[in-house]
C-alpha cells in the first residue's frame, strides 16, 4: 500500500514518519520495523490492509459489498458484514493525523463508521494463562528471555498459572537490551509464535498461544479436573465399595475420602490414615509437599512420602488408591500385617475411575491476551477532543475491537483493553524499534454519533471507495 511520498530526503533515501524512529530508507529497502519500505521514492506499507469476511454455511465467503444482509438487529459489528480491521492500515504518527481509514457503511438505512489505526503501544503487554499444575516459579518471580527480565509470575488460578509480560517499565525503563528483548518476545507471542522463557527459582517454559505448554522439556497434556478435595467430591460415589481409602494428591488442597464430607455421607468408615500436611477442614489438607513438577503440582514422585504411620482402625488388607488431580499418576496399595502400604495391581474397576478423572480434564493450552491502553495520541486520530471517545466507549456507544477480535475494556479511566490473540488473523502485530508493539485497534459506531463526538468527518470515506485498496480478505466463521 503506497503512502504519500515523504519530502525529507538524504542521499537518495526517503524519510519515513510512521513512528518516532524516523528512518531514512534507501530505494528497495525496508525501515527498521520491516513494515515500511522505499519503492521508487514512494513510502510503501508492506503488510496487507486486511478485512474479515463472514463465511456462509456452505463455506462461500460473503462478498465485500454484499447488499443482501437482512434487517439490522442492533449488532454494531454486523457479524455477517465485512469487518474492516486496522491490520496493515498504518499509524497516526506524529499523532495529529486522522486515522488512516475512517470508513462508512450503510446497514439497511443505518450509517455506521469504523475508524481503524495501527496503534504504537509503549504501554502494553500480555497476560498469559498456562493450563498446568506444574510449579513454574514463585509468585512475583521474574520471567526472563535471553537472560533479560520481561515480566513476572502472577497468581495460580484454578488449574492454571498466570504470567504478566511486558509493560512500559520493561519496554523503556530498563536497558536497551531489556527493551529490545521484551518487545521481540511480545511480538512473537502475540503473533502466535513459540517463545522460550525461564523463571527465577522455577522452570523453563516454552509458550505458544493455542498450543500445549512445555515445562522443563515435557509437554503438558491435561488441565486438572479440580483440586484434591473437589476430585473427592466428584468421584466419591464411583469409588464407594471398590476401595477403602482414596487420597487425591494436590499441591493446594489434598483430599482424603474417609475424612471428607462426601465420604461421611456415603458412610465410608475411618481408616486410620495419617496425612503429613496442614489440616484445613475434614478431609482437606494444605502443604502436603513443596510445589514442583511431580504429582499434583508437588515435588514428590512417590506419593507414600506424604503419609505417616497408620493408626487404628487400620488393618491388614486395607485397600488404598492414591491419584493425582489429572489422573496421569496413580498408585494402588494394600496394607500388610505391619500396616505398611504395599504396591499392588490396580483392579479393573478402579482403573475405570482413574481414566474417568483424565477424561474430565480439559486439554492443557497456553492462552495469550494482548493488553494495551489506547492513549491520547491514538484517540486524537479518531476525534479532535479525545476524551469524548473515552466517554463514548464507556457508554457502549462505540465498540472497540483489536484486529476484529472482541475486546474486554477495563473499568475505570482510559481505554485499557484485552483481546485473545487466537481471535485475530495471523501476523496481526508489528513493532517499532523505539521499542513498542504495533497493534490494530478499531472503533465502530453510528456515523451520527461519530459526528457528535467531533470526529474527523472530512476524512470519512464510503466503503465503496476503499474496495480496491484492500489487499487481504480473510473468511471467518459466523
For 166-186, letters b (16+ CB in 10 Å) and e give bbbebbbeeeeebbbbbbbbb
Distance between CA atoms of residues 272 and 32, nearest Å = 69
Query: Do the beta carbons of residue 168 and residue 122 sit within 8 Å?
Result: yes
Place of cell 483430599: 255
Nearest of 186, 269, 235, 464 to residue 355 by alpha carbon: 235
> Which three cell numbers, joined as nine digits, stand for 240?
464407594
Q: How far is CA 123 from the centre of its chain?
A: 17
Ordered per-residue pLDDT tens for the chain, 478 residues = 544 444 455 677 999 888 888 899 999 999 988 888 998 888 888 889 999 886 544 444 333 343 343 444 444 444 556 889 999 998 888 878 899 999 998 876 789 999 999 999 999 999 999 999 899 999 999 999 999 999 999 999 999 999 999 999 999 999 999 999 999 999 999 999 999 999 999 999 999 999 999 999 999 999 999 999 999 999 999 999 999 999 999 999 999 999 999 999 999 999 999 999 999 999 999 999 999 999 999 999 999 999 999 999 999 999 999 999 999 999 999 999 999 999 999 999 999 999 999 999 999 999 999 999 998 778 999 999 999 999 999 999 999 999 999 999 999 999 999 999 999 999 999 999 999 999 999 999 999 999 999 999 999 999 889 988 888 888 865 4
How confident is the model at residue 472, as a pLDDT? 85
Helical H segments across 151-203, by residue range: 168-172, 176-190
Tens of pLDDT, residues 370-406? 999 998 778 999 999 999 999 999 999 999 999 999 9
Query: Would strands 24-25 and 13-15 be described as parallel, antiparallel, or unpaired?
Result: antiparallel
What is 208-255 written as a DSSP string? -BTS--EETTEE--B--SS-HHHHHHHHHHHHTTT-SEEEEE-SS-EE
> Which three cell numbers, joined as nine digits, stand for 79?
457479524
How far the first Cα of the chain sits from its last, in Å, is: 29
| Per-residue DSSP letter, 427 | T
How confident is the model at residue 477, as a pLDDT? 54
Query: Do the beta carbons of residue 144 and residue 137 sit within 8 Å?
Result: no
**Cis, bond preceding 313 (omega within 30 deg of 0):** yes
What is 430-452 written as a DSSP string? EEETTTEEEEEEEEEEEHHHHHH
Count CA within 13 A, CB hemisphere, residue 231. Answer: 34
How confident is the model at residue 73, as a pLDDT? 46
Query: Do the beta carbons of residue 400 and residue 445 sit within 8 Å?
Result: no
Amino acid at each position: 500500500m503506497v503512502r504519500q511520498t515523504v519530502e525529507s530526503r538524504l542521499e537518495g533515501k526517503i524519510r519515513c514518519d510512521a513512528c518516532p524512529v524516523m528512518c531514512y530508507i534507501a530505494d528497495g529497502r525496508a525501515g527498521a520495523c520491516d513494515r515500511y519500505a522505499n519503492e521508487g521514492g514512494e513510502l510503501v506499507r508492506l503488510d496487507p490492509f486486511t478485512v474479515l469476511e463472514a463465511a456462509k454455511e456452505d463455506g462461500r465467503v460473503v462478498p465485500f459489498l454484499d447488499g443482501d444482509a437482512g434487517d439490522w438487529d442492533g449488532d454494531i459489528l454486523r457479524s455477517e458484514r465485512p469487518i474492516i480491521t486496522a491490520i496493515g492500515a498504518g499509524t497516526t504518527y506524529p499523532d495529529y493525523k486522522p486515522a488512516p481509514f475512517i470508513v462508512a457503511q450503510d446497514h439497511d438505512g443505518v450509517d455506521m463508521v469504523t475508524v481503524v489505526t495501527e496503534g504504537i503501544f509503549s504501554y502494553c503487554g500480555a497476560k498469559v494463562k498456562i493450563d498446568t499444575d506444574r510449579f513454574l516459579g514463585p509468585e512475583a518471580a521474574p520471567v526472563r528471555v535471553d537472560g533479560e527480565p520481561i515480566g513476572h509470575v502472577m497468581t495460580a488460578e484454578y488449574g492454571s498459572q498466570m504470567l504478566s509480560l511486558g509493560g512500559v517499565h520493561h519496554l523503556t525503563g530498563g536497558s536497551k537490551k531489556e527493551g529490545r528483548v521484551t518487545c521481540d518476545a511480545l511480538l512473537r507471542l502475540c503473533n502466535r509464535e513459540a517463545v522460550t522463557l525461564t523463571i527465577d527459582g522455577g522452570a523453563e517454559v516454552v509458550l505458544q498461544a493455542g498450543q500445549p505448554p512445555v515445562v522443563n522439556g515435557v509437554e503438558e497434556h491435561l488441565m486438572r479436573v479440580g483440586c484434591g478435595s473437589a476430585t473427592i467430591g466428584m468421584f466419591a460415589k464411583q469409588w464407594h465399595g471398590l476401595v477403602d481409602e482414596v487420597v487425591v494428591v494436590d499441591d493446594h488442597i489434598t483430599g482424603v475420602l474417609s475424612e471428607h464430607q462426601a465420604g461421611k455421607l456415603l458412610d465410608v468408615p475411618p481408616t486410620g490414615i495419617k496425612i503429613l500436611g496442614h489440616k484445613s477442614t475434614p478431609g482437606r489438607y494444605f502443604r502436603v509437599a513443596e510445589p514442583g513438577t511431580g504429582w499434583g503440582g508437588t515435588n514428590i514422585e512417590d506419593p507414600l512420602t506424604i503419609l505417616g504411620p497408620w493408626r487404628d482402625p487400620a488393618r491388614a488388607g486395607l485397600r488404598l488408591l492414591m491419584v493425582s488431580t489429572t489422573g496421569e499418576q496413580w498408585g494402588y496399595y494394600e496394607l500388610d500385617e505391619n500396616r505398611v502400604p504395599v504396591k499392588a495391581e490396580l483392579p479393573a474397576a478402579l482403573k475405570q475411575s482413574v481414566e474417568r478423572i483424565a477424561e474430565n480434564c480439559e486439554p492443557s493450552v497456553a492462552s495469550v491476551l494482548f493488553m494495551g491502553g489506547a492513549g491520547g495520541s491514538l484517540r486524537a486520530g479518531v476525534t479532535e477532543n479525545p476524551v469524548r471517545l473515552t466517554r463514548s466507549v464507556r457508554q457502549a456507544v462505540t465498540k472497540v475491537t483489536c484486529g476484529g477480535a472482541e475486546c474486554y475494556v477495563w473499568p475505570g479511566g482510559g481505554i485499557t483493553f484485552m483481546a485473545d490473540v487466537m481471535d485475530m488473523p495471523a501476523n496481526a502485530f508489528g513493532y517499532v524499534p523505539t521499542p513498542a508493539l504495533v497493534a490494530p485497534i478499531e472503533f465502530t459506531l453510528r456515523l451520527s454519533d461519530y459526528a457528535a463526538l467531533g470526529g474527523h468527518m472530512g476524512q470519512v470515506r464510503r466503503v465503496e471507495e476503499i474496495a480496491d485498496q484492500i489487499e487481504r480478505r480473510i473468511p471467518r466463521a459466523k
